[in-house]
Structure formats: C-alpha cells, structure tokens
Amino acid sequence: MVNFIIASHGEFASGIKMSGQMIFGDQENVEVVTFMPNEGPDDLHQKFVDAINRFEGGDDSQVLFLVDLWGGSPFNQANLIVAEHPDNMAMIAGLNLPMLIEAYSARFTQDNAAEIAKSLVPMAREGVKSIPEAENMTSSAQKTSADTNQGLKKGKMKINLARIDTRLLHGQVATAWTPDSKANRIIVVSDNVAKDDMRKNLIIQAAPNGINANVIPVDKMIEIMKDDRMGGVEAFLLFENPQDALRAVEGGVPLDSINVGSMAHSTGKTMVNKVLSMDQADVATFEKLSGLGVKFDVRKVPSDSKADLFNLIQKANVK
C-alpha cells in the first residue's frame, strides 16, 4: 500500500485528514506534517523525515506527499526528498478534499506513488465548481434532467447496490460508495423527496461527475424494474428509510442485500450504534425484509468492517 503524507501551512493538513476520515473511514499509513509560524525549513524537513521513518520500510517505501501549495515551504522540503527517491516517492500540490478521497480510493488498486499522483489531477480540478456555474457549463440539474433514457438498450436494469441512508446523497455516498458500487446511475427512491423540488434539485447537483442522478417515488421504481428497455443501467438505489425499501421489495424490486448506512435519531428511537437509530416499527420492517430473503450489510463507508444488524438491535434493546 502506498503511504501518504499530508502536509500544509498550519493545521489545514490535520483538518482535511479528519474530513477525509469522516467520508472514507479511518485510513492506515497516513501521516500529517504541519508547518507552524515559529518553525523554519530545517524543522519542517525533520518532520518529513520522522513521518517517513514511521512507515514500514522507511525511505524505501512508496510515499506520496499531498501538499497544500505549489512552491510553498511544505512543497519545497517534500520536493527535496522526492528528488532523492525518484523511484518510490512522488508529490502532488493543491490539496483539496476530492483529491484526498480519490487518493484513498486509488491506493486500493495502485501500488505506485507516482501513478496515483498523476491520476489525482483531474479529480482535483473537477472538484472545483461554483453555484451559479460558469456560463459555458451545463448545470448538473440540466444534464441529469435531460433525456434519462439516453443510451439505454433492451434488457432489465441491474441493481449494483441498495443503501438505506437518511441523508441520501452526501459526501460519503458520492465519493466512497458510488465508486465502490460501480454504478452508472444513482436513483433516490423516496415519495417524500420526489415531491420536494428543492431537495430533489440539491440531490441532483450533488451527484458525482459522470454519474446521472434521478429522484423517483417508490411506485415508479417498481414500474421501472418491469421495463425491458433499461438494459445498460447499473443502478445504486438510495432509500431514506427501511419502510420505503420494504415497499419496493414487496412490489418486485429484487434486492438480495441492503447496505444499512445511516438512520437519523428522533424522539422515541434508540441508538443501536453511532449512526443508526430505530424504533420497534423499524425493527419490524427489517424483520419483514429478512423474511423476504434480504441480507443486511451494516457499514457507514466501504472500508468499515461489516456488523450484524440484528445483533446490534438485540444489544441496544430497542423498544
């Protein structure tokens, strides 16, 4: 695995590492180097050396430096080290959160620091957008609300992943679960959101680059699954609650497994772990889904270990 050193002026590196963990989960072999106002170049260089020595293999290991600013002190000191180890170290500047998330994902398939660095530049650029967008750009909402049947062919839709998440399409879903699912379309299945134009547009805008997003009611999802003109669509389904998922399954949507990611707390509900809150009605719904043959994958992000849903419920003594 490629080792990462996140480096910045001040505490930016520490903060972005925490943000990355919130979205992608805890990561091993990631060191933070901060350059503080009372420090000089020699202090900074020693911090880099110490960070490298904490990696297995030390300066013989694959190391990627992710630094905040081209030409700044962290860049300059890291550049000296990369120049001494051109075969196993590399650097990329202009660090932003999309870049860091993509880096975490890339090292699952890449074991070379330089190759990962080259692959990160497009993602870092694509992560910079504005609202309203520039005049020469087509808005995400317009692109997604265009012909949703474009490129379809004969055959049924394939469901790559289904997830229950109160927050629906957010950072963890866009940057971690969508690539993991290898889906080419995100479908939010919710009666509530389908009739709320503001929420619908926000979800469409939050779709990752290159992925279409749609918001449809449960009955429409059931109808679409019967359509034999949806070949080529590999879908990532997002449900706001288990009740909507149950309606979909009972209506004929074939779900063998559901990722249970997040269920917000509200009055009368019990926390079964840090991100899942439910009451007896939710438990009964999960039991019905289980009776229909659905398995449950309890994970907030792909890198988490899987937990047993009913063991969590039993330990929490949901009432």
- Number of Cβ atoms within 10 Å of the Cβ of 301: 19
Residue 89 bridge partners (DSSP): 63
Q: Judging by DSSP bridges, how do beta strands 277-278 and 212-216 pair with one another?
A: unpaired
- 212 sits in which H/E element: strand 212-216
Distance of alpha carbon 172 from alpha carbon 164, whole angstroms? 13
Per-residue b or e along 257-295, where b marks 16 or more CB atoms closer than 10 Å to that residue's CB: ebbbbbbeeeeebbebeebbbbeeebbebbeebeeeebe
Let me know if 265 is a catalytic residue: no
By the 10 Å C-beta count (0-12 exposed, 13-18 middle, 19+ buried), 128 is classed as exposed
Q: Which residue bears the tokens 């907030």?
A: 300
Question: Are 3 and 51 spatial neighbours (Cβ–Cβ below 8 Å)?
Answer: no
Of the candidates 45, 85, 170, 265, the residue annotated as catalytic is 170
Gap between the Cα atoms of 265 and 232, Å rounded: 37
Q: What is the token pair recorded at 113?
A: 């620091």
Active site residue 170: yes
Among all chains, which residue has been given the structure tokens 């530049």? 121
Report which secondary-structure segment, H or E, holds 63: strand 63-67
Q: What is the CA radius of gyration of the chain?
A: 22
217 prior amide bond cis, ω within 30? no
Catalytic center residues: 9, 170
